[in-house]
Chains A and B, each alone.
Chain A
């Protein structure tokens, strides 16, 4: 009898052990998960965690990190020959139409419980970022929306305020419209040796910094354009609406602002834009939300405690303010390739990385460029105490997620945006007049739409755009 009891206990213990082991993690003994993503500013967030995951699961993670400019190329060349070399890829929301719509990604619905708190914790716009045609193909690891930052210390300086009023006839305040932004940029652009807020400048100072390098520039056009809530195309005819008066107004504003930005701004990418603002060389910047935590980190920033936040400026139309933040980039997403060699392991890894615990550490770590995208990030006490006014900042992000204007996500999404960026850049460089540049964009967009099939694109576009249209 005793022996039997012991045997029973033995079985129970081993079952318990097995269960706990199961709960601890599946064993992916010796599996190599290959993973493509961009940017050292993501690597710093991914690396320690993927190593930890690998150790827990007896697996190995091999990463390929490329510059942003090369990611789309590396990704697409992988997909061409049928894949098989990577398990996990990183993509941006607008590429979803090509990557997920092209049937290259593994549908994840059967691996994710959409009724779980885990999934519901993700803000809807960031759930949608990884979805295509109602199916989940990827998990957001970096939520994206633009935010406006300014130098609180100089905007609140009494002397500057008085001078500004004398010069422009209205009060100095953190710009609410792009016209005010232009005035403020103009006003704050100073030479070395001039005085700024009572202090003599040791280097030139500029009104604003934007990321106007060729791959990025279209975002800074669209961050102006989104305020109008003008859909990218006519919903019935698919005629591009980018070259309407609103577009021209945006581009003209961009060109007017150009002299008040640092030299070389037409080559600025993420690093340069952030550096210009955080080194105290520029009074204002519109950029993604991670700059908030970074600008308040003493290791990275010379303007700790001097940063003010606000919504991205809008436009006055017939005396009424039109303001709608651009969900620039739409988020970075991790997906698993359909031809992945180690699907289970890959899914386990991306769920681990985008889960509430790991992602909270990443979005609050100023060494990464990852932005909040879960309700638990936005509500997190840790985040709300990370820097002054972080609470308001997070509330603004949440509001943007609810009412922001989306980046265009159609098949060929990156081609549309590339063309837009090219011609905006040509206009900024003085090669083309704003109207001509945008007309050229419209022409090219028509060609791209035709290439991908007008009717099909129209159907997808209507479905995509309708939820965002203003309800009147």
Chain B
């Protein structure tokens, strides 16, 4: 009992900061979400019950942003996972100047998303950008591709940028997983005469699975809140085609100043996220038990 008492003192300062800066805003947000509070009209707050939450279900623009976000999360995670894993396997052999290679590969994920978005925006520009130039040089296309202003392409460009920045994360974590893998199952498989691919498919991959689930979890959460690239590269356009959930909630809050509704939306998307995360953690638990 005395022991626990001491721990409280150590945890207290951090807890106070967190309570002040996270819990208080969240409680306030919850309070506001039951009110009509549009500061562009007036400073008055009127209680309207769950009206804001009801409106969410009728808000086509919000559901459109959910669809865009789901596309980004699912396709983004799948691509990043596949590529990241492939690159990890590529690096998982005796290589010259391995350290230098790792440093180079890590660079993108250290950079500010705003900076990355600006860089790619310049490169993807039609007429003056280098991406179209190289594609034309390689005879992939003769046209000026409008990366950021054609609806299906624009969301693909966001995917591309995210892929560039975050595949290294998948690679590095997977690589660490590969290094720390127990040797005996691999040896056993080799003795049984399994091919490289078979070893990967039936031995390494199952062993990596818990790590990969965590990686996917982290990436999903991050893509779910994707905002910077949208703000810098497309402003949500063309049409509504690159509006993500974060971007839409940001607009409702800081462009239309419909604070009550924005608060309700934030709660709603937080709930969706917790459900998804809960699902992942469940499956992770199952995996861990299976692995052990």
Q: Which of A77, A215, A412 contacts B41 (CB 8 A)?
A: A412
A207 within 8 A of B: no
Whether B151 contacts A418 by the Cβ 8 Å rule is no
Complex CA gap A430/B151 in Å reads 9
Whether B237 contacts A429 by the Cβ 8 Å rule is yes
Count residues of chain A with CB under 8 A from any CB of chain B. 34
Whether B240 contacts A422 by the Cβ 8 Å rule is yes
Whether A415 contacts B256 by the Cβ 8 Å rule is yes
B286 within 8 A of A: no
Whether A98 contacts B237 by the Cβ 8 Å rule is no
Q: State the Cβ distance, B290 to closest chain A Cβ, in Å.
A: 45
Q: State the Cβ distance, A262 to closest chain B Cβ, in Å.
A: 7
With A418-B255, A429-B237 already in contact, the answer to whether A267 and B148 are too (CB < 8 A) is yes
Q: State the Cβ distance, A242 to closest chain B Cβ, in Å.
A: 18
Whether A266 contacts B238 by the Cβ 8 Å rule is yes
Q: Which of A79, A267, A430 contacts B234 (CB 8 A)?
A: A267
Task: Name which of A68-76, A116-124, A221-229, A304-312 contacts chain B.
Answer: A68-76
Closest to A265 in B: B149
Whether A412 contacts B40 by the Cβ 8 Å rule is yes
A153 within 8 A of B: no
* B238 contact set on A, CB distance < 8 A: 214, 266-267, 425-426, 428-429
B236 within 8 A of A: yes
With A263-B146, A430-B151 already in contact, the answer to whether A451 and B41 are too (CB < 8 A) is yes
> Scoring B residues 27 to 70 as 1 if CB is less than 8 Å from chain A, else 0, what string do you get?
00000000000111111000000000000000000000000000
Whether A411 contacts B41 by the Cβ 8 Å rule is yes
Most buried by A among B126, B149, B150, B239: B239
A213 within 8 A of B: yes
Cβ < 8 Å to A, chain B residues 240-260: 240-241, 254-257
Whether B125 contacts A264 by the Cβ 8 Å rule is yes
* B254 contact set on A, CB distance < 8 A: 73, 76-77
A452 within 8 A of B: yes
> Scoring B residues 131 to 168 as 1 if CB is less than 8 Å from chain A, else 0, what string do you get?
00000000000001110111100000000000000000
Q: State the Cβ distance, B127 to closest chain A Cβ, in Å.
A: 6
B228 within 8 A of A: no
B235 within 8 A of A: yes
* B38 contact set on A, CB distance < 8 A: 451
* A204 contact set on B, CB distance < 8 A: 127, 144
With A204-B144, A266-B146, A415-B256 already in contact, the answer to whether A426 and B41 are too (CB < 8 A) is no
Whether A76 contacts B127 by the Cβ 8 Å rule is no
A80 within 8 A of B: yes
* A264 contact set on B, CB distance < 8 A: 125-127, 146, 148-149
Q: State the Cβ distance, B114 to closest chain A Cβ, in Å.
A: 13
Q: State the Cβ distance, B133 to closest chain A Cβ, in Å.
A: 13
A203 within 8 A of B: yes
A381 within 8 A of B: no
Whether A415 contacts B40 by the Cβ 8 Å rule is yes
Complex CA gap A72/B238 in Å reads 21
Whether A72 contacts B239 by the Cβ 8 Å rule is no
Whether A429 contacts B40 by the Cβ 8 Å rule is no
A455 within 8 A of B: no
Q: State the Cβ distance, B58 to closest chain A Cβ, in Å.
A: 11
Closest to B143 in A: A263
> Scoring A residues 258 to 286 as 1 if CB is less than 8 Å from chain B, else 0, what string do you get?
00001111110000000000000000000
Closest to B240 in A: A426
* B239 contact set on A, CB distance < 8 A: 422, 425-426, 428-429, 431-432
Q: State the Cβ distance, B44 to closest chain A Cβ, in Å.
A: 12
Complex CA gap A264/B239 in Å reads 13
> Scoring B residues 214 to 239 as 1 if CB is less than 8 Å from chain A, else 0, what string do you get?
00000000000000000000111111
Complex CA gap A451/B37 in Å reads 11
Complex CA gap A420/B108 in Å reads 38
Q: State the Cβ distance, B166 to closest chain A Cβ, in Å.
A: 24
Q: State the Cβ distance, B234 to closest chain A Cβ, in Å.
A: 7
Q: Which of A214, A263, A265, A452 contacts B235 (CB 8 A)?
A: A214
Q: State the Cβ distance, A273 to closest chain B Cβ, in Å.
A: 14
Cβ < 8 Å to B, chain A residues 361-419: 411-412, 415, 418
Cβ < 8 Å to B, chain A residues 185-214: 203-204, 213-214
Whether A80 contacts B234 by the Cβ 8 Å rule is no
With A215-B235, A267-B148, A429-B151 already in contact, the answer to whether A262 and B127 are too (CB < 8 A) is yes
Complex CA gap A339/B41 in Å reads 18
* B256 contact set on A, CB distance < 8 A: 415, 418
Q: Which of A203, A412, A430 contacts B127 (CB 8 A)?
A: A203
Closest to A74 in B: B254
Q: State the Cβ distance, B121 to closest chain A Cβ, in Å.
A: 9
Complex CA gap A331/B154 in Å reads 33
* A451 contact set on B, CB distance < 8 A: 38, 41
Whether B240 contacts A431 by the Cβ 8 Å rule is yes
Cβ < 8 Å to A, chain B residues 186-231: none
Sample (11) of A-B pairs whose CB atoms are under 8 Å apart: A77-B254, A79-B39, A213-B235, A263-B126, A264-B149, A266-B237, A415-B256, A425-B238, A426-B238, A428-B238, A429-B150
Given contacts A80-B43, A266-B149, 5 further A-B contacts (CB under 8 A): A79-B39, A203-B127, A265-B149, A266-B238, A425-B237
List chain A positions with a Cβ less than 8 A from chain B: 69, 72-73, 76-77, 79-80, 98, 102, 203-204, 213-215, 262-267, 411-412, 415, 418, 422, 425-426, 428-432, 451-452
4 closest residue pairs by CB, A with B: A263-B126, A426-B239, A266-B149, A429-B238
